[in-house]
């Protein structure tokens, strides 16, 4: 079946998301390792991605863990510095697909508050035909429900969807539903896949 919609994850596909790297630069690798060993900060972020209030969630964790309070609050206060930089080649691919008239969507684990901060900074996040944002939907990948929401909204069969994500577990659920999937390891391989699918020319994919 012909691909009728291309779906991008955002973190580590369009924008680098490496909190550990950010903290290494801020507090040093040794202290960062100790903090991440003591606290499930990615679990905290999952609460935000499921719709939890961004500031309250982070500051509540800080209050419950006073020995790390200042560092935890940085997750909120310095979030834009943490969610950076954009991946320019991926952005070009998004725009090239849209320039060819293809429908391009986002399916992302992203909080309501973080999305509100990110969209003014990264203009390309406003260019999707539709952005399926977990915080607004109240469910995160890889829960099958969020993929069902995408299918219902788009009104397309699973076999008409091509989805790029950097996490194999997110792709496994999509593939089980019949979506075409691509494990994102870098923009060039993703570009090659889009050429193979006939969605872009080699020149457009550069």
At 166-191, the pLDDT tens digits run 999 999 999 999 999 999 999 999 99
pLDDT in tens, 95-152: 999 999 999 999 999 999 999 999 999 999 999 999 999 999 999 999 999 999 999 9
Whole-structure pTM value: 0.96
**CB-based contact 76:53 (threshold 8 Å):** no
> How buried is 202 (Cβ within 10 angstroms: 0-12 exposed, 13-18 middle, 19+ buried)?
exposed
If we measure between CA atoms, which residue out of 82, 86, 100, 80 comes closest to residue 27? Answer: 82
Instruction: Tell me how many degrees the CA angle 187-189-192 measures, rounded to the nearest 5.
Output: 110
Distance CA(37)–CA(66), nearest Å, equals 16
Cα-to-chain-centroid distance, residue 196: 24
**Looking at the predicted structure, is the pLDDT value of residue 3 above 90?**
yes
Pick the CATH number of 5-16+85-197 from 3.40.50.1100, 3.40.50.300, 3.40.50.1000, 3.20.20.120: 3.40.50.1000
């Amino acid at each position: 079946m012909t691909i009728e919609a291309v779906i991008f994850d955002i973190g580590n596909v369009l924008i680098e998301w490496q909190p550990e790297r950010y903290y290494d630069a801020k507090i040093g690798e040794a202290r960062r390792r100790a903090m991440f060993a003591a606290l499930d900060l990615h679990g905290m972020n999952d609460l935000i991605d499921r719709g939890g209030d961004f500031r309250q969630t982070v500051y509540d964790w800080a209050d419950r863990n006073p020995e790390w309070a200042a560092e935890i609050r940085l997750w909120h206060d310095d979030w834009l510095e943490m969610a950076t930089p954009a991946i320019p080649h991926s952005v070009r691919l998004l725009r090239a697909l849209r320039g060819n008239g293809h429908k391009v969507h986002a399916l992302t684990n992203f909080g309501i508050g973080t999305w509100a901060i990110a969209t003014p900074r990264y203009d390309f996040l406003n260019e999707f035909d539709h952005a399926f944002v977990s915080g607004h939907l109240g469910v995160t990948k890889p829960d099958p429900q969020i993929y069902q929401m995408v299918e219902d909204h788009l009104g397309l069969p699973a076999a008409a969807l091509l989805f790029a994500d950097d996490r194999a577990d997110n792709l496994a659920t999509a593939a089980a539903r019949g979506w075409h999937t691509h494990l994102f390891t870098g923009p060039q391989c993703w570009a090659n896949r889009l050429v193979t699918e006939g969605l872009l020319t080699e020149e457009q994919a550069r």
